Amino acid sequence: MDTESVVADVVDGTSGAFVIANNGVRDGETAVEYLEYGADAVSVGRPSDEPAVLRRVRRAVEGYFERSGGAGRGGEVTPDA
């Protein structure tokens, strides 16, 4: 993807599909941006072996779903413990 906003086009064009955004997820800010565009989840690619990156992304995603009432576009969210 060239821009994060492309996620909105994918979400709009995929009737009911569970959308996972994974291009450029490096921090909490980009994770939340993808979720705000309608992604149901995010996937961390290259920096996945960096625990600090994973912690930042997880905190941001959990915070996003807490603020949105615990559910994304796809329904109830149950984060891993």
Number of domain units in the chain: 1
- Is 12 within the bounds of a domain? yes
pLDDT for 81? 35
- Is 59 within the bounds of a domain? yes
- Is 77 within the bounds of a domain? no
- Is 73 within the bounds of a domain? no
Residue 39's domain comprises: 5-68
Cα distances from 13 to residues 2, 3, 7, 38, 70, in angstroms, run 17, 16, 10, 12, 24
pLDDT for 4? 78
The answer to whether the beta carbons of residues 53 and 34 sit under 8 Å apart is: no
What is the full per-residue pLDDT of the chain (81 aa) written as tens digits?
A: 557 788 899 999 998 899 999 878 888 998 999 999 999 999 987 767 888 888 999 999 999 999 887 655 544 444 443
pLDDT for 74? 47
- Is 79 within the bounds of a domain? no
- Is 13 within the bounds of a domain? yes
